Structure formats: C-alpha cells, structure tokens
Chain A
Amino acid sequence: MSAIVNGAGKVVDFVDQRITASNWLKRNIRKVFPDHWSFLLGEIALFSFIMILLSGVFLTLWFKPTMAHIMYEGAYVPMRDVGMSEAYASTLEISFEVRGGLLMRQVHHWGALIFLAAMSAHMLRIFFTGAFRKPREINWLIGVILLVLGVAAGFTGYSLPDDLLSGTGLRIIEGGMLAIPIVGTYLSSFLFGGEYPGDDIIARLYPMHILLIPGLILALVAAHLMILWYQKHTHWGGPGKTNTNVAGAPFFPIYVAKAGGFQFIVMGVIVLLAATIQINPVWLWGPYDPSVVSAGTQPDWYVGFLDGALRVMPAWEFYVFDHPITMSVLIPAILLPGIILTPLALYPWIEQRATGDTREHHLLDRPRNVPVRTGIGVAFIVFYVLLWIAGGNDFFATILEIPVNWITWFIRIGIFVLPPLAFFVTKRICLGLQRRDRDKVMHGRETGIVMVSPDGEFSELHAPLTRSQAYELTWHERQLPSDPGPATDANGIPNPNYRSKRAQARLSRFYFGDVVQKPTREELESAHHDGHGAEAAQRDELTSGQQ
C-alpha cells in the first residue's frame, strides 16, 4: 500500500507545487456518490460514447470520404466491376480486407444505437424522478441539446457508407428540405452542391460527423459532468437522507471501481453484440442508386418516429400566391421536431410555474407522488411509440397480416386519442398507488390472516410498519395546490396580481389538486387509536396463542 501511496504521492507533489492540486483533491477524493440502478443509465450513455469515439478513430484510418466514381476491384467478388463511390468501396475494404474492421464497424453502429437509447432512457429517468428541478435546469437543457446532437451524429454517420439505405435516407432529407417555403430549393442546393445527390454530400457530412458534432458532444458532456460534480448527485429520500445532505459511497475507491468497472462492462457488451449480431451489412444493400429502393427499409431506431410521422400524415397541400405549401411534409419533417423539443426543453420552467417554488430540490420524486408529471411523461412515451410503430407500419402489417393502410389509420386516430388516455390511466394508477401507500402508513400492511369475530364479521389483520418502513413512504414533500387568495383585499382594493395568481393556481390545481396526501401526524395518531390498537392487541394474542 505504501508503495502505491508513495508513487501517487510523487505525482501529487509535482502537480500540487504547480497548481495547488491537493486542495482540490482533499475536498473531492472522497466525494459522495449515491447508488441506484437508475443512475447507471447516464453512465451507459457516456461509456458507449467513449466506445464510439475509439472505434470511430479506427474507422477513419481506412474510410475515404469521397463520392469519386470507381469500378470496384476489391476482395468482395459479387461487387467486382460494379461502379460505386470510393466511400462505399472503402467501407467494403474495412469490412473484408481489414482484420477486425468489420468488428469495429459493428461496434461503432451498435455503440451508436446504445448511446441514443441510453441517453433517452436517462432522460426519462430524470424526467420521472423530477431530477430536472432547480438547481439542475441547466443540465436538463444540456441534455436536450446532447440528445439532438446524438441524433445528428447518428444520422450523418448512417449516410457516410453511401450504400443504398444511406442514400435513401438522404433523399428523404432532401424531400423534407424542399418543402420549406421560399428557401427550400436553395438549402438543398447548398447542402448537396447543386442537384441531388451530386458528388459533394459525403465529403461535407464527414467533417460534421467526425469533428464538429463529436466535438460539441464532448464539450457539452464535460460541462454536464462538471455541473453534476459541483451540484452533487441527487439521491432518493429515506432514513437519514434529506434534501440537505447526500449519502452514498466515497468517490475513491468505491465509485471509481464501480463506474470504472462499469465502463468495461458496457464496452464488453457492445463488443459482444458486434461479435454476434450482424448490423448494417452494407455489402448486401449495394452502392447507392437513386432509382432503386428495397422494400421494408427501416432507418435506425432513433429516426423511426420522424419517418413514421411522414408515413401517417395525410396528404395536405395548399397554395399561397400560387406557391405550394406542402403540409404533409412540413409538419412531420420540419415542425414536429420543434413541437417535441420546445416543451421538452422548457419543461422545468413549466413545472416550476405550477409549483411556484424556487427552492433547491436534491431529493428525487417517486413517480407516483407526482401523478400529473408521470401522466404527461407516459402520454409522451405513447405518442412517441405510436409514431415509431408508424415508422414500421409495413413491418407490422406483415406480421399482423393486415393491410398497411389500417395501421396508418389506427395511428392517425390513435395519435390524438391514446396519449390523453395514457395520461388519464397513468394518473389514476399513480393515485391508486399513493392511496395504498397512505393506507399502509395508516393501518399497516396486510398480513393475510383473516379473523372471524364472535358476531361472524370477517376482518384481516394488519401488521404495523416499522418506523423506517413508514418513513420510506412519507419522506416526500407535501405538495398542496396553491390558492390565489381573494381578488380584492379587506378594503375592496383589487389585487393587481390576482389574474396571474389565479392562472398559476389553476396550473397548480391541475398538478396537485388530486394528489393523495400522506397522512398528517394527527390523522396517523387517531388511526392508531381508532380500533387498530385493539387489532394490534388481538394480533399479539394471536401470536402468543400460536407459540
């Protein structure tokens, strides 16, 4: 041990004499990190991103980002003497002529899918537990931007091999741009260097994909982590765990070992996926040919909802001064991302308006304890999943053996009906769970022992919770809907802020009007006096009778 400390000590001594490192280390080396499985989702995103960077650097050593036209003479015989771009040919080279090249391509693609899935799941975790509340709004915004950048990184990468699927994806992007009024054709012309597809696009996407977007992601990830570090992680409430402390394991060694180990586990799982499950075998699709498409083509999962929106949007186009406005493309391809991202980015402030509170929140919410937020989240998931199903409507038509148009119509109607329904059902489920928690605290847990009284009345014995168990169900804050107060004061003078207060109170009532409150101390005490004490006494008799 002392050898290690001596070795590390020399390094620390060197650094400390130059940048006062010990001061920082002293405060941070034993920094507390709370532990919960759901905190790992963000780590998966980070670690898969590192894997993407490593495999991506490897791929750049061979990939040729040019659309120069060549006749393929490489090792893959079925494509010999086929005209293709150098980009596609070099992708074949990586796959077939570089040992481990196919593995790294598949690691890169699997890593990207997992990166986006983990970011999405992480974001849902943050949302449902209220971890976006003050003081963490900045990190929520950074997270939203990271998600967008992640999709952009994925899509630009998907386009680079210049195979049939990637070209089709770009064609749809072009169609979406053309729908933009006034400047659409110019934007497309600037992006593609003239007419679609031209021979510039891959050389232009390449620096976005390997430099600009990952650079921005890295910078924002750094900011994200520094803010997290500074603010300290949120934690779940419980005995001894309050809004003003943080309980968990020290950064060094526990968190270093667990998170560092988890990094290797995530990398290992991605490599194992790449080893065993083939992904994007571009040699089967062939080089891009704008006049060819294969049926049943699917984009990567994170673009599926946009593709689905394009599929289910009814035909709608009108003219403004003889110029077409193609709403059937504009709405799903251009407006929808904004419609989703704007409320997502602003959500912390929307909820802050409902709670009207500006305090710091470091305790996570159990989703059931904020039924309206949880309902909104589930409604959004249903909305997203419906669009995602729409993106595979042909696939679902095939497995369900029904016409694809039925699925399209189901989504067209369901997109308006099912999210509100999901909101309502989720809210009711949350309220039910809250009521059960309240009953448990008030009356104890059900024992399954049914008693018959001398009068023939059946009743079930309840066993009281331990104090810790009861505290686990009651540590959350009591959030009451706010009251706007009277419109005029005692002297009949109108309150100038009444209107804004009333609007705020309405929002607050929407959020908290139906919440099942945990019992008060008085309620709890009266519940214990109210016959249940006798029940407990009976149970004591019962247990002594059994002995």
Chain B
Amino acid sequence: MSTHNVNPNGDEHAVVPHGEHAVVPADPIADPGLHYYDERLTDVDKKAERRAERQVAGMFALASLLTVAFIVFYVIVGIHPDDPEDGVNIGDVQVSNLTLGLTLGLALFLVGAGAVQWARSLMSSPEVVHERHPLRSDDETRAAALADFETGTEETGFGRRKLIRNSLLGALALLPLPAVILLRDLGPNTGESPGERKQHTIWAEGVRVLTDVTFMPIRAADLEIGQLVNAMPATFEDLPEHGPERINERAKSPVMLVRMLPEDVHVAPGRENWGVDGILAYSKICTHVGCPISLYEQTTHHMLCPCHQSTFDLSDNGKVIFGPATRSLPQLPIAVDSEGYLIAQSDFTEPVGPSYWERTR
C-alpha cells in the first residue's frame, strides 16, 4: 500500500507539496493479494444449478403472465360510467389503479429480479482486475498540446491584433443583452409599476362587505360574538369571469370579519371608529409570505397562519405575537350603511401581504 509520501501513480508532479512530515512508518500488514471467491453452490451442485435455472425462468414466465393480466384488467375494469351524467365511480378508478399497478409493477419487478438472480447464481464470470493508469497525460503530450494551441493563437495574431481582439470582446459582451431585453414583456409594460399595483385593492368607500362563497351582504346584527366570517368586497362580483383580474383580487382583497366584546378590543389611536360594535375587518393575507390566514382561536382572539405559524392578535390591531411575520395584519376600516349592511370606509390604508422594497416606511 502507498504511504503518504509515496505516489501511487508514479507521477512526480503529485508529490505532497507542503510541509515536512515525520518519516512515515511502514504499514503493518503487507497486501495478501486478491482473494478469489469460493465457488457457489450452483457451480458445484448440478441440482442447485437446475433449481436456479427454474427460478429464473419461472420469474420471467410469471412476468409474461402478469403483463397479459395487465392487458386483461385494462379491458375488463372499466372506469367510464355507462351514462356520462352519472360521473365516475372513485371505487372503479381505485380498482383499476390497483389491478393495473400490481400487475405491471410485479411484472417489471420479476423481470429485474430474474435478471439479477441469473447473474448472481448462473453467470460464470470470474472476478476481474484491471490496472488503472494515471489520468494525467504524459509531459510530452501535454507539451505538444500546448504547442499546438500556441501555434494556433500565433496564427490568429490574437495577442498582437489588439484592435480586433477588443472589438470582438466588446461585441460578444453586448450580444447577450437582446436575450435579456426580449424577456421584458414577460411582465406588463403599461400602467402601474409592480410596486404601485400592490398599493391598492378593490375595496373603496361604501363597498359592501359580502360573505365569501355565497356573496351575500352582511348585517352587523347577523354576526355573533366570537364569530368569524370570511368576506370579499362587493366590487369583486363585477370583475370579468375570465382573465386574471378575478383571481388576482382573490389573492389581495379577502378579509376576515370578527366580532368580539367591544371592551376586549385594544384600539390603536386613529382607529377608534374603524370597527362596528366590536366587529373588525382584517386582511386575510399573511404579512409573512402571503398565505391566506385561517386558524382562529376564539377565546384569545389569536389568528394563526397555517403555513408558517405567524400569529396575530386580532383584538390588538392585528399585532404579531409569534412567528416570522414582521408586520401587523392590515385592518380595513368598516362602517354600516343606511340599510344596516357592513361597508368599507375606504380601501386598506396600507398594502396587504408581504413586505416588498417599494413599501416604504
């Protein structure tokens, strides 16, 4: 075996290049040489050999049967309902999945297992030893390659013709720019900048607060103490059915209405009339990375984001009390219109969702 200073490749460039070592002591045990493996049972016992042969062939034969079974199951296990109105039966799909998967999976597995068993027990290849050769080219070849390269460079005059070289480098440096510029229209190039678009939602003065899902206006009296209702602005219903506006507002505008005892609410200065009899509206979009918040603990008024567990106190202006979020949940000022329905007093007074560069202090 090689020791630290002896180089196994016989390559003098690979001598350890640093500091001195104490003389490296000799290895305790000399290499006893390759141990060739003992014969397998199948090498000496004809019976064992025939058994192994039957095993391998058996696995291959079974794989064929399973492949045929796969085709049979494909045909006989239907998933399409007789009457399209009925819809699919999930049970049929699962039976189809299971039968197709088991037959195909076992067929594949058996082909593989048979091949491995064949190699292990019947193929008669001996253990082979090959010598490795140093990967590094010999000095002569390296010198020749370098010389060829130098000849080529010399022939171009690349080093001497500085004008050509520099103008080429300049041209090549500029060429990637079109590739980058071409990507500009990935984002919209008219209207507001991305930062400006984040400043507002479709909430506005007088917009009614509608229940999510059913889109019904909400009376203050309909909400009980401790209740939480997911809500959307009435303007959402005016958005076109197709196109991105609707889903984009779905990602920005959702609010949660909560009602708590008015004496439980700690109102920040300037927010005294943002609620209605203990009914408060907060953005549903987490200020951490934007998941919709959804786990409300009624007794503590704590709101937990299921994605990363940022926790907000809805009785204390949406303040963060745990987790990675850095900002309070934006609160939507609400009021009651002449018919007694909840409306927004204005849009949110700050952008909803996560922090971003343009969201200045």
Contact = CB atoms under 8 A, between A and B. Distances in A.
A315 B320 contact: yes
Interface stretch (A252-260, A369-377, A381-389): A252-260
Nearest to A47: B112
Contacts of A192: 187
A57 interface: no
Given A185-B356, A477-B1, A257 B20 contact: no
Nearest to A471: B29
Contacts of A359: 7-9, 11, 14, 16
Interface string B232-246: 100000000111101
A242 B242 CA distance: 69
B354 A186 contact: no
Q: How large is the interface on A (under 10, 10 to 19, 20 to 34, 35 or more residues)?
A: 35 or more
Given A474-B27, A483-B20, A243 B8 contact: yes
Interface in B175-193: 183, 186-188, 193
Contact of A263 (B4, B97, B112, B295): B112
B113 interface: yes
Nearest to B246: A69
Contact of B113 (A185, A265, A324, A362): A265
Given A168-B307, A240-B34, A311-B308, A477 B2 contact: yes
A272 B119 contact: no
B20 A477 contact: no
A487 B294 CA distance: 67
B248 A195 contact: yes
Most buried by A among B86, B100, B118: B100
Nearest to A255: B119
Interface in A146-201: 168, 171-172, 174-176, 178-186, 188-200
Contact of A272 (B24, B102, B116, B118): B102
Most buried by B among A181, A246, A315: A315
Interface residues of B, number: 124
B108 interface: yes
B309 A31 contact: no
B155 interface: no
Contact of B119 (A243, A261, A273): A261
A478 interface: yes
Contacts, number: 431
Contacts of B120: 258
Contact of A295 (B18, B254, B295): B295
A356 B28 CA distance: 24
Nearest to A261: B115
A182 B294 CA distance: 31
Contact of B251 (A254, A291, A319): A291
A319 B2 contact: no
Given A185-B195, A244-B131, A323 B360 contact: yes
A358 B14 contact: yes
A42 interface: no
A477 B13 CA distance: 19
A188 B323 contact: no
Contacts of B193: 185
Most buried by B among A30, A106, A197, A275: A275
Contacts of A426: none
A20 B1 CA distance: 39
B358 A185 contact: yes
Contacts of A312: 324
A18 interface: no
A199 B239 CA distance: 15
Given A268-B106, A518-B28, A296 B306 contact: yes
Interface stretch (B76-84, B271-279, B331-339): B76-84
Interface stretch (A95-103, A336-344, A415-423): A95-103
A175 B18 contact: no
Contacts of A178: 289, 353-357
B326 interface: yes
A483 B19 contact: yes
Contacts of A168: 291, 307
B88 A97 contact: yes
A481 to B, nearest CB: 9
B160 interface: no
A38 B32 CA distance: 25
B40 to A, nearest CB: 13
Contacts of A301: none
A245 B198 contact: no
Q: Summarize B's interface: helix, strand, loop or mixed.
A: loop
A322 interface: yes
A271 interface: yes
Contacts of A272: 101-102, 105-106, 109
B129 A316 contact: no
A293 B291 contact: yes
Contacts of A32: 128-130
Contact of B115 (A193, A195, A257): A257
Given A190-B183, A314-B324, A501-B18, A324 B361 contact: yes
B34 to A, nearest CB: 3
A505 B18 CA distance: 9
A194 B189 CA distance: 9
B97 A106 contact: yes
A480 B4 contact: yes
Contacts of A240: 31-35, 129
A294 B116 contact: no
B322 interface: yes
B110 interface: yes
B107 interface: yes
A290 interface: yes
B67 interface: no
B39 interface: no
A186 B28 contact: no
A276 B14 CA distance: 55
A194 B357 contact: no
B325 A315 contact: yes
A311 B16 CA distance: 47
B288 interface: yes
Most buried by A among B31, B100, B106, B358: B31
A430 interface: no
Given A195-B252, A262-B116, A265-B108, 17 more contacts: A32-B128, A77-B87, A97-B80, A185-B357, A249-B128, A250-B128, A267-B112, A268-B112, A270-B105, A293-B292, A311-B309, A324-B360, A356-B19, A359-B14, A477-B4, A504-B19, A505-B19
Q: List 6 tightest A-B contacts by C-beta distance, closest first.
A: A275-B101, A175-B289, A240-B34, A268-B109, A261-B115, A264-B112
21 contacts: A68-B242, A75-B87, A76-B87, A96-B93, A175-B354, A190-B183, A193-B186, A250-B125, A254-B119, A295-B294, A311-B308, A311-B324, A315-B320, A315-B326, A323-B359, A326-B355, A328-B288, A408-B309, A471-B31, A483-B21, A520-B27
